[in-house]
Amino acid sequence: MTTTTFDLAPQAAEVARVVAAVRDDQLGAPTPCTDTSVAALLAHLHGLSVGMRMAAEKTPMGDPPAASADALPADWRARVPRELDELVAAWREPSAWEGMTRAGLAELPAAVMGIVALNEVLVHGWDLAVAIGEAYEVDDASAQRCLEHAVWFAAAMPEGRNAIYGPVVPVPDEAPVLDRLLGMTGRDPGWTPPS
């Protein structure tokens, strides 16, 4: 099998920009992720950045940190962007894309895990951006790669897909690739914070 590698840096940099825009008074605000506040989503970005970096490095990890507001590190403004940079650096190593690797309870071919890492960063970056009313730029090639993975995942492992995401949100076939990806991952592309 030929391994296709790609750079997570552009999307990670965009997510780091959005993280920097979060105000303290927004930490309790809701996000498109059911029952997840901005603080809890930031905690998840912290945990997934570490976990996916360790997957690239083929370093065993214990249970992932809880994605709750209580698990958000006090230094999150500096830590999350740094961890995103470390994630990018780890996936730039050719060895990251070889063999099998593990993140949390999932063991996957490393090339697939790289796409999972990109999807986590890209989609949760969108979650955070819309929750705080921040613009969000997505590279169409990255969104297309994630969409193809989401479609494959839904067909190959419907139980796993349903355990991770909410129900598919119907989105027209002619909609932008990001909107189609959001729909496949159980998100309404038109979501806005409740008033």
Task: Indicate the SS3 state at residue 12.
Answer: helix
Least confident of 70-79, 148-157, 181-190: 148-157
Q: Which helix (DSSP H) or strand (DSSP E) does residue 103 occupy?
A: strand 100-103
Asked if residue 108 lies in contact with residue 101, where contact means CB atoms within 8 angstroms, the answer is: yes
**Is residue 115 domain-resident?**
yes
pLDDT tens-place string over residues 69-114: 888 999 999 999 999 999 999 999 999 999 999 988 788 999 999 9
Query: With 0-12 CB in 10 A as exposed, 13-18 as middle and 19+ as buried, what is 89?
Result: middle
Residue 43 has a pLDDT of 96
* Total-model pTM: 0.94
Mean pLDDT of 171-193: 96
Is 186 contained in some domain?
Answer: no
* H-helix or E-strand spanning residue 177: helix 177-184
Query: To the nearest whole percent, how much of the chain has pLDDT over 90?
Result: 77
- Domain membership flag for residue 169: no
Q: What is the pLDDT of residue 112?
A: 94
Residue 4 lies in a domain: no
pLDDT at 3 over 60: no
Domain with 119 in it: 9-137
- Supply φ then ψ for residue 159, to 5 degrees: -65, -45
Is residue 99 a part of any domain in this protein? Answer: yes
The domain that holds 47 is classified in CATH as 1.20.120.450
Separation in Å, CA 48 to CA 61, 97, 158, 192: 11, 18, 22, 24
187 falls within a domain: no
Within a domain: 144: no
Number of Cβ within 10 Å of residue 68's Cβ equals 13
Q: Is 136 exposed, middle or buried (0-12, 13-18, 19+ CB in 10 A)?
A: middle
Structural domain includes residue 180: no
110: buried, middle or exposed (CB in 10 Å: 19+, 13-18, 0-12)? buried
Is residue 1's pLDDT more than 50? no
- Count of domains observed in the chain: 1
Contact 55, 121 (CB under 8 A): no
Helices (H), 9-166: 9-21, 38-57, 76-91, 110-132, 140-156, 158-164
Using DSSP, state whether 92 is helix, strand or coil: coil
Instruction: Name the least confident of 45-49, 86-90, 161-165.
Output: 161-165
Q: What is the pLDDT of residue 65?
A: 63
Q: Tell me which DSSP letter residue 60 carries.
A: -
> Average pLDDT of the chain?
92
